[in-house]
Amino acid sequence: MSGFRLADGGRIDRRTKRNFTFDGKAQWGYAGDSLASALLAQGQMLFGRSFKYHRPRGILGAGVEEPNALVTVDRGPGRITPNLRAPSVALHDGLTATSQNRFPTLKTDLIAVNNVFSAFFPAGFYNKTFMWPRAAWEKVYEPIIRRLAGLGDSPTTRDPDHYDATYAHCETLVVGAGPAGIAAALEAAAGGGRVILIDEQEEIGGGALSDPAQWPWLEEASAKLAAMDNVTVLPRTTAIGHYHQNFVVAAERLTDHLSVDEAEGAREKLWRIRAGEVVLAMGAIERPLVFEGNDVPGVMLASAAKTFALRYGVAVGRKLVVMAVHDSGWRDALALHKAGVNIAAIVDMRRDVASELIEGARAARIACYQGYAVTGVSGGQAVKGVTIALAGVGKGQKIDCDAVLMAGGWTPTVHLWSHAKGSLRWDEAWGAFVPDKTHEDLRCVGACGGAWDYGKGLSGGLLPAPKPLHDSKAFVDFQNDVKARDIGLAVQEGFRSIEHIKRYTTNGMATDQGKTSNLNGLQIASGVLHRPVTEIGLTTFRPPYTPQSFGAILGHHKEALFQPLRKSVIDDWAAAQGAVYENVAQWRRARYFPQGSEDMDAAVARECRTVRSAVGVFDASTLGKIEVVGPDAAEFLNRMYTNPWKSLEPGRCRYGLLLGEHGFIIDDGVSARLAPDRFHLTTTTGGAARVLNMMEDYLQTEWSDLDVWLTSTTEQWAVIAVQGPKARRVIEPLVEGIDLSPEAFPHMSVREGKICGVDTRLFRVSFTGELGFEVNVPAEHGRAVWEAIWAEGQKHGAVAYGTETMHVLRAEKGFIIVGQDTDGTVTPDDAGLGWAVGKKKPDFVGKRSLARPDIVAPGRKQLVGLLTDDPQAVLEEGAQIVADPNQPVPMTMIGHVTSSYHSATLGRSIAMALVAGGRDRMGETLHIPMPDRTISAKVVAPMFYDAEGSRLNG
Amino acid sequence: MVEIAEIAVSAAELKLGTEPVQGAGVRLSHAGPRSRYSLRARDAKVLAEVVGRTLPGKIGDQAEGVICLGPDEWYAILAEDTVLPRGEGLPVSVTDVSSRALGLVLEGPAALAVLSSGCPLDLANMGVGRATRTVFETVEIVVWREAEDRWHVEVWRSFATWLWNAFLAAMPGAHG
């Protein structure tokens, strides 16, 4: 009472057996089989359980449209792939496949109780039921729904496979290698241009693979294509999506069709193809019919049964009934009959059917029921028979059978056409949308272009039935368990657009993206609403065409190559010293240098004390640097930054504050004027690319009249900061040609000369409050100069310090870090940097916004210092601040902690915070409620050490 | 909570090779030190006079190591220690970026495929001698087709380790 292998026929290799397992049970098939055909040949009709009701389901289609037979394939640890469609899984030795969504077994599924109570689970059930009580959502509803939801199991181990990727270019890309696609490829190739022909199946041929009469032609055409060196043929390759300007992304499966032992190299390869012309030859997918019992295992598409018989030599049953509304069902029935498959009857809703089809059926002794419809299917886990009735409402009569073939007409596969924003028009004859206009160099050929002769037919998928719609169990979307009556309910609840009906019912929202359900859903909605299909709308197809692995999409961007990790030229030295790192943007930076068993606090305390008492060396190479050159360089900077730049003398430095148009701080840095027409800018590490882009943007769009050019020099210079009272003594012996005396080389100035024999731009700047220098040398000399400075520093007790110590030292001085003490809503005045805004400047980026009413309103959050009453309590960065800790929750939060550290120099904690009206609260005690206690702290100026700045002079 | 094992090799452990690597039909090596300049000007004639060289006029053209990258932008890859005058006071920008980038060389019949694995340009149609700024996956590069099967690739220093290893991953038979 089920499928079996036909005595002959098919493209399988009957001499080569393939052993595999399904749900742990040993099975076999032939080379050339799909998992679906091999199991059907063994009599297996039950392939899976449906998503919502756990109804038993069998095979519906023979291609990627298959919604039911989703399986998990296990290729060893880390190589478990769920949700593969059984008809698209090539059989190989040792294939280990299991069914999904069943508990505990495919045959006995306890959650199928959902099916019994399905009347209580209509469309929108979840939305309506789990609304309240609100508190139950997190603890009760979500965990339960999560357990029921989803298909297949997520991976729990690392994927050991690697994935390949490439770009490719061609004059003509043909998607789909059926007869139309092959013809298009041959024609294009004859012109001499590069041609790529891709097809998702195991071998090229498309529909011709299910038509033995075309095999000689196919063989000849394949050989011709293979012989042409301007043609690349890619089977097992799915065009996932079409993007702008004929950019098509495709995933090639390289090893999944091989046994684990044979698989070598990359598992998949991502093809990113730019094509002059794209020819879509993606064919069409047959539509199911919507009638009571259309989801019983054994009810499938007529085209699928034909493919199983003619391509794989498998009969899907011993006695088949065809339910057609389209000529193609008759043609398939006759082809099946010819292949030795027993067709008991052809039922067709139409009274008028072409006479040659009827004669053909009669000659084959197939009973014909014109004007009839199937009204019911008997059988639970396999078809036992059907009930048919005249016009669907007459007296029912039963026909015994073990499979039912549906021929509901054809839907052109317009997915990629739609990705390309090609328009569609409704075609009455097809009962489907077909390609209309496009602005890409793109065309459709064959069935996907509506140019294929499948014969004539009706276009509505819903068969008339004796039961009212709201009582029927006629399925539209098999994967998401959407019934015709759910669509009726959606309309009844007021939904009119197909976009809303789709989301309410989830029709077409499963992993198959409604390949077999969209059109039927649309037609049913149209019927219920009594409005033409074109007024109901059409849902949008989006990539990927079929589900893809993340591995294929990532390509080489996996594990170590996931993204570049940038290291400075001094990084290796730091690693050898045992540095602990932190990532800043794409860079990794030494955070601190622990000695012995030191933890971070101990290491940072030692580094801080040594910088303040002697000297420290810090790798500042990652700072963004931009060389601004040209006669208008000063004018340009004057417009970009808040403070005046034109008056800056060559050889001097200035702190620059950069705002966005909104008036908020977005970057800062110290910059130097090297010559009247040349500046050396620095930016924050993370802001380098952003600032350069912003400046380029202004130059190109606002001030294209300025003669000034920007060059990123971030990687040109290695930067070694030497900070501390002994800094001058450390570099003195190494520097040539620069007078380092305080008089000749004051704070905030720059000199060019030599250090260790190489060119340097030597800055006298300080981000620590100590006497400080920043040594810029060409990057390839950075390591050697660092080591020379380090060796010299050893004579003065120097430490190498990292970003954590840098943060503490600058916080002691109240210097901000953009992005830590600012969050994109902080103005210069908020940050206490009003002094850096040129009051007399006519304009600069962000100036107008600084006069906006809410920017000048009182009560804005301002940067202040906080000293905890308990000097050892270190506040948590990000902690909220309240004025009155006795308020009931939720309290009024007046700000938050932005920076907080233990200061070894001060022997206590320090913090900076943004607090509403902060500068008017000096001396006030505020409160920071934490889970276990409330910490009180006094508001102070954000300056904890050496307020007069005397240490800058060493 | 699912525990995912550490990856075998992390990005931090990748090394920039120093010795050439030979794969099937492709060899990866360092180009060696060069003098590099970013050259900018509204008027190419003024700039050409300053640097004393011919500037190619079309984007993608290259002449004696000077590549036209944009309407007002050239990039010079010159012999080590070449020094160009700065043209102070003139409406030009001559900026020494010798240390900013490293030059890698891919050569051999399979070099094109390795470069095309991550570069979106139609490199097969790029004429010998032409050069352009582009990307390899997410990393900016300048590609110069020095000969039919020899490609000079400029990459900013800190991205070189990633690029070297990405090339190795795309090189058949290479185990750097």
- Give the closest of B9, B72, B86 to A559, CB-based: B9
Backbone angles phi, psi at A380, to 5 degrees: -100, -65
Q: Do B91 and A564 touch (CB under 8 A)?
A: no
Cα–Cα distance measured from residue B107 to residue B152, given in angstroms and rounded to the nearest whole number: 9
What is the pLDDT, as a whole number, of residue A1? 46
What is the pLDDT, as a whole number, of residue A469? 86
Q: Do A565 and B117 touch (CB under 8 A)?
A: no
A903/chain B closest Cα distance in angstroms: 31
Residue that wins the pLDDT comparison between A700 and A1: A700
- Give the closest of B7, B33, B116 to A158, CB-based: B7
Cα–Cα distance measured from residue A682 to residue A761, given in angstroms and rounded to the nearest whole number: 13
B155 touches chain A (CB under 8 A): no
Beta strand pairing call for B26-30 and A385-390: unpaired
Q: Do B72 and A709 touch (CB under 8 A)?
A: yes
Q: Do B40 and A711 touch (CB under 8 A)?
A: yes
- pLDDT band for B176, please (50, 70, 90 cuts): very low
Query: What is the DSSP code string of A115-178?
Result: HHTGGGS-TTHHHHHTTSSTTHIIIIIHHHHHHHSSSSPPP-S-----EEEEEEEEEEEEE--S
What is the pLDDT, as a whole number, of residue A688? 94
B7/chain A closest Cα distance in angstroms: 7
**A855-to-A598, A668, B10 alpha-carbon distances in Å:** 46, 20, 46
Element (H, E) at A946: none
Q: What is the dihedral of CA A511, A512, A513, A516, to 10 degrees?
A: -150
Question: Which residue's entry shows tokens 């009182």?
Answer: A858
* Superfamily name with CATH number, domain A161-285+409-455: FAD/NAD(P)-binding domain (3.50.50.60)
Coil vs helix vs strand at A18 = strand
Beta strand pairing call for A163-175 and A195-198: parallel
B145/chain A closest Cα distance in angstroms: 18
Whether residue A125 has pLDDT greater than 80: no
**Measuring CA to CA, which residue among B117, B112, B120 is closest to residue B166?**
B117
Asked if residues A71 and A97 have their Cβ atoms less than 8 Å apart, the reply is yes
Share of chain A above pLDDT 90, in %: 88
Cα–Cα distance measured from residue A280 to residue A777, given in angstroms and rounded to the nearest whole number: 57
Written as six digits, the tokens of A909 are: 């904690």
Asked if residues A529 and A469 have their Cβ atoms less than 8 Å apart, the reply is no
Q: Yes or no: is domain A14-110 CATH 3.30.70.260?
A: no
What is the pLDDT, as a whole number, of residue A405? 98
Within chain A, which residue ranges are assigned CATH 2.40.30.110?
Answer: 858-954
Coil vs helix vs strand at A450 = coil
Written as six digits, the tokens of A821 are: 């003490």
> Is the peptide bond prior to A104 cis by the omega test (within 30 degrees of 0)?
yes
> What are the strands, taking DSSP E only, across A847-952?
861-868, 880-882, 893-903, 908-916, 925-929, 934-940
Residues A171-196 have a mean pLDDT of: 98
Q: Do B14 and A581 touch (CB under 8 A)?
A: no
Backbone angles phi, psi at B67, to 5 degrees: -110, 135
Whether residue A122 has pLDDT greater than 80: no
Q: Do B96 and A556 touch (CB under 8 A)?
A: no
Cα–Cα distance measured from residue A121 to residue A694, given in angstroms and rounded to the nearest whole number: 54
Asked if residues A626 and A695 have their Cβ atoms less than 8 Å apart, the reply is yes
Asked if residues B98 and B77 have their Cβ atoms less than 8 Å apart, the reply is no
Asked if residues A42 and A345 have their Cβ atoms less than 8 Å apart, the reply is no
CATH (one of 3.30.565.10, 3.20.20.100, 1.10.260.40, 3.30.70.1520) for B35-96: 3.30.70.1520
Beta strand pairing call for A403-407 and A397-400: unpaired
**A887-to-A740, A879, A927 alpha-carbon distances in Å:** 58, 17, 11
Chain B interface test: which of A556, A636, A700 (most B C-beta within 10 Å): A556
A782/chain B closest Cα distance in angstroms: 10
**Chain B residues closer than 8 Å to A713 by CB:** 95, 97, 100
Q: Do A715 and B156 touch (CB under 8 A)?
A: yes
A628/chain B closest Cα distance in angstroms: 8
What is the pLDDT, as a whole number, of residue A148? 63
- Give the closest of A556, A560, A778 to B9, CB-based: A560
Within chain A, which residue ranges are assigned CATH 3.50.50.60?
Answer: 161-285+409-455
Cα–Cα distance measured from residue B44 to residue A710, given in angstroms and rounded to the nearest whole number: 17
- Give the closest of B5, B119, B159 to A167, CB-based: B119
Largest separation between any pair of C-alpha atoms in chain A: 113
Per-domain residue ranges for chain B? Answer: 18-33+99-170, 35-96
Of A99-113, A419-433, A692-706, give the lowest mean pLDDT range: A99-113
**How high is the mean pLDDT of chain A?**
94
Chain B interface test: which of A164, A273, A566, A568 (most B C-beta within 10 Å): A566
Q: Do A715 and B100 touch (CB under 8 A)?
A: yes
Residues A42-60 have a mean pLDDT of: 91
**Chain A residues closer than 8 Å to B13 by CB:** 560
Which CATH number does A858-954 carry? 2.40.30.110
Residues B85-91 have a mean pLDDT of: 96
| Helices A498-505/A484-492 angle, 10° precision | 120
Q: Do A631 and B137 touch (CB under 8 A)?
A: no
Pure H helices in A438-583? 484-492, 498-505, 518-529, 533-536, 550-554, 571-576
Q: Do B99 and A778 touch (CB under 8 A)?
A: yes
What is chain B's Cα-based Rg?
18
A171/chain B closest Cα distance in angstroms: 11
**A596-to-A593, A599, A600, A633 alpha-carbon distances in Å:** 10, 9, 12, 50
**How high is the mean pLDDT of chain B?**
95
Asked if residues A637 and A844 have their Cβ atoms less than 8 Å apart, the reply is no
Residue that wins the pLDDT comparison between A131 and A843: A843
| Per-residue exposure over A461-496, b if at least 16 CB sit within 10 Å of its own CB, e if not | bbbebbeebeebbbbbbbbbbbbbbbbbbbbeeebe
**Chain B residues closer than 8 Å to A703 by CB:** none
Asked if residues A51 and A510 have their Cβ atoms less than 8 Å apart, the reply is yes
**Chain A residues closer than 8 Å to B101 by CB:** 715
Q: Do A564 and B38 touch (CB under 8 A)?
A: no
- Give the closest of A556, A567, A587 to B170, CB-based: A556
| Per-residue exposure over A287-308, b if at least 16 CB sit within 10 Å of its own CB, e if not | bbbbbbbbbbbbbbbbbbbbbb
- Give the closest of B95, B125, B138 to A629, CB-based: B95
CB proximity under 8 Å: B 69-108 to A:
72, 86, 88-101
Written as six digits, the tokens of A853 are: 């009413």
Number of residues assigned to chain A = 954
Q: Do A713 and B100 touch (CB under 8 A)?
A: yes
**Measuring CA to CA, which residue among A607, A897, A602 is closest to residue A770?**
A607
Output A139-145 pairs: Cβ under 8 A, ≥24 positions apart.
none
Q: Do B38 and A711 touch (CB under 8 A)?
A: yes
Chain A interface test: which of B74, B93, B114 (most A C-beta within 10 Å): B93
Number of residues assigned to chain B = 176
Whether residue A256 has pLDDT greater than 90: yes
Whether residue A456 has pLDDT greater than 70: yes
CB pairs < 8 Å spanning A and B: 139
Residue that wins the pLDDT comparison between A879 and A102: A879
A 10 A CB-CB count for B149 gives 17
Residue B35 pairs in a beta bridge with B78
Q: What is the dihedral of CA A574, A579, A580, A586, to 10 degrees?
A: 0
Which CATH number does B18-33+99-170 carry? 3.30.1360.120
Q: Do B12 and A717 touch (CB under 8 A)?
A: no
B99/chain A closest Cα distance in angstroms: 5
pLDDT tens, residue by residue, A913-934? 999 999 999 999 999 999 999 9
- Give the closest of A567, A630, A781 to B91, CB-based: A630
- Give the closest of A588, A675, A708 to B88, CB-based: A675
Cα–Cα distance measured from residue A771 to residue A809, given in angstroms and rounded to the nearest whole number: 13
B120 touches chain A (CB under 8 A): yes
Asked if residues A320 and A404 have their Cβ atoms less than 8 Å apart, the reply is yes
Coil vs helix vs strand at B152 = strand
pLDDT tens, residue by residue, A808-860? 999 999 999 999 999 999 999 999 999 999 999 999 999 999 999 999 999 99
Residue that wins the pLDDT comparison between A677 and A107: A677
Q: Do A716 and B98 touch (CB under 8 A)?
A: yes
For Cα atoms B135, B140, B145, give the angle at the middle one, nearest 5 degrees. 60
**Chain B residues closer than 8 Å to A587 by CB:** 158
Pure H helices in B4-94? 44-51
**Measuring CA to CA, which residue among A81, A56, A59, A60 is closest to residue A71?**
A81
What is the pLDDT, as a whole number, of residue A50? 86
What is the pLDDT, as a whole number, of residue A116? 65
